[in-house]
Chain A
Amino acid sequence: MQNQIKKNKRQPRFVGFFKRLFREKPMGLAGGIILLLALLVAIFADFLAPYGFNEVNMAQVLKPPSFTYLLGTDNLGRDMLSRIIYGARISIIVGICASAMDVIVAVFIGFVSGYFGGKVDLIMQRFVDAIIIFPNLFLYLAVMSVTGPGLTQVIFVLGILSGVGSSRIIRSAVMQTKLNTYIDASRAIGSPHFLVLIRHILPNVMAPIIIIFSIAMGGMIISEASLSFLGLGVPPPAPSWGGMLSGSGRRYMLTAPWMAIWPGLFLSIVVYGVNMLGDAVRDLLDPRLRGGVGGLGEYGVKKAKKALEKKQNMASLNKDK
């Protein structure tokens, strides 16, 4: 009897989620592993990097990759491998913090706008409209020119401005949830709005929140790199992967191509991993993709095959005619 109860006990949600990820989305899992590796490299950069990220050695300038300098050195004799390793830290910090900021802003605007509706919604949405019509990089550049470059500034600017855009997804999810009777019931027994939002709305819009976070991350890392590339992101000598591709990276790209190759390559690999994971998470969580074929993994594949067989049968029947 005791065993029975134990068996039936539901496992924590995220364990089940990871099991599904493992079973149904091997590519997503691979992406997760890439992200985990990048995370570990970022955390243990101090132990992993053979040299300091800003350790200038004028005797070893522009050296091609060798055993002492696995990825070569830059125009100041700094070890590229060490700079890449420390660069992971910047990319990961921006990726996580800016996406978190994005979600916070999106939830705030989306909740207020979607839940209260009416005039509040009408007014707030005009502000949202007014911000999303700016070409993103133009607006980022303009705001960064006022705040000045820096890691914190990049996180806030990217997070807040893209959060405004993502708020529309949260808003529509909130508006749909609001229609349920249990919301009215909760209000009828006297729950204050805040409680309704936290206890009843939030759990129901958790899926889009997680999706926004996981999809935003790759974009944030690329945006930081783009801003640093244009000279308004994380300022040198901090080893931002985007920043390493601009300035000296571009000036010496023909004599020392490794200075431009490595930062972009690692940037692409990490963003690829993040995007693969984000895609898998979305497929597993997005209710719109459920019931169809995309979101159901193994079962979906079987279903698709069956459907495809049916179609082919039909097609062959048609041909026979």
Chain B
Amino acid sequence: MKGYLIRRLLLIIPTIFISTLIVFIIARSIPGSAVELMATEMETEGMISGGVSVDVDYLRAKLGLDVPMHIQYFRWISAIVTRGDFGASLWTGIPLSEEFGLRYPVTFELSLMSMIISILVAVPIGVYSAIRQDTASDYLGRTFAIVGLSIPNFWVATMIVIFPAIWWGWAPPIEYIPITKNFFGNIGQFLIPATIMGISASAGLMRMTRTLMLEVLRNDYIRTAWSKGLTEKTVVLRHAFRNVSLPLITMLGARIPGLLGGAVIMEQIFGLPGIGRLMVEAINDRDYPIISGVNLIMAAFTLVVILITDISYAYLDPRMKYK
């Protein structure tokens, strides 16, 4: 167990190092013409005060593109490690750490709510589908899963905005309501996007639950449980589902990147000022420090979540203790 923990923690170092390299390379491979384009855009949009003409060289220096690659990387990494400085927006000059602090609660709340909804929907359907395999209800459950995987989130969201508006003149609130100001307003506002995300995420989760359940149900100890004369409820919940819940938790951890990706689109449609929105805004503005910084933070976050789920798995699964 100890050895496993140490190995698992040590393997993080190269992984995180390579992800910083990836982010760095993406951010530094901005096409040369893009810098010039930015300069002209900055001039025309009057982003720089006083109508001063923007020097391309100045912009290069500001982006840190004027020194050799390895020095650029070193500067960037040491700023992050020593000062927690992920860079600042090219346009507003607001540091990413500050911007991120304002935005992450929205994405966190949205993802958490949708995850809870997806578990509430997927796990019961998945378990039921497995214990009634190849019956009508199983087919219904599986069809639900495939339909859920096939309908794009952004279309469902658009339809939910369109139809109530046409039929009843009702539209979801466009302005963000902070949770500190109006608790129920906030929850109500998040409920629709979180449900859409949750239901589409539940499709994959339901299939996983079903497959895991089917695998577990084939074990000898399930037959033993049946032959002991236990009720179906006990066999399914105590003997089968308990063994499913652990791998399910690991899989939930692995699904977080996908969930965060879905948040980008929901935030965009429902006007929630989260991290996904920040990312899309940064991309539209070609705000490269923000693009790379957000990606790095998201990757690090996912890495930590996967690590926690893996370790808790090892900790909770008695079979792992002897390895």
Interface residues of A (CB under 8 A from B): 27, 126-127, 129-139, 141-143, 145-146, 148, 218, 222, 225-226, 229-232, 242, 245, 249-250, 253-254, 257, 260-261, 263-265, 267-268, 271-272, 274-276, 279, 292-294, 300-301, 304-305, 308, 311, 314-315, 318, 321
Contact = CB atoms under 8 A, between A and B. Distances in A.
Interface of B: 11, 14-19, 21-23, 26, 29-31, 133-135, 142-143, 146-147, 149-156, 158-159, 161-163, 165-166, 214-215, 218, 226-227, 229, 231-232, 256-262, 264-265, 268, 276, 279-280, 283-284, 286, 288, 291-292, 294-295, 298-299, 302-303, 306
A189 B179 CA distance: 71
Contacts of B161: 253
A contact face: mostly helix, strand, loop, or mixed: helix
Given A134-B19, A267-B152, A304-B134, A226 B146 contact: no
B260 A135 contact: yes
Contacts of A267: 152, 155
20 contacts: A130-B16, A133-B257, A133-B299, A134-B295, A136-B258, A137-B262, A138-B279, A142-B291, A143-B26, A146-B26, A146-B31, A245-B158, A254-B162, A260-B159, A260-B162, A272-B150, A274-B150, A293-B133, A294-B133, A315-B231
A250 B17 CA distance: 41
Contact of B283 (A129, A145, A261, A304): A145
A268 B302 contact: no
A232 to B, nearest CB: 7
Contact of A135 (B151, B229, B261, B268): B261
A138 B15 contact: no
A138 B264 contact: yes
Contacts of B261: 135-138
A242 B152 contact: yes
A268 B152 contact: yes
- Scoring A126, A127, A301, A308 by chain B CB atoms within 10 A of each residue's CB, the highest score goes to A126
Contacts of B232: 311, 315
Nearest to A317: B229
Nearest to B288: A145
A231 B284 contact: yes
A130 B294 contact: no
A304 B133 contact: yes
A314 B226 contact: yes
A226 B283 contact: no
The 4 closest A-B pairs by CB, nearest first: A264-B155, A137-B261, A130-B18, A272-B150
A138 B150 contact: no
Contacts of B303: 133
A271 B279 CA distance: 27
A216 to B, nearest CB: 12
Given A253-B161, A293-B214, A318-B229, A226 B295 contact: no
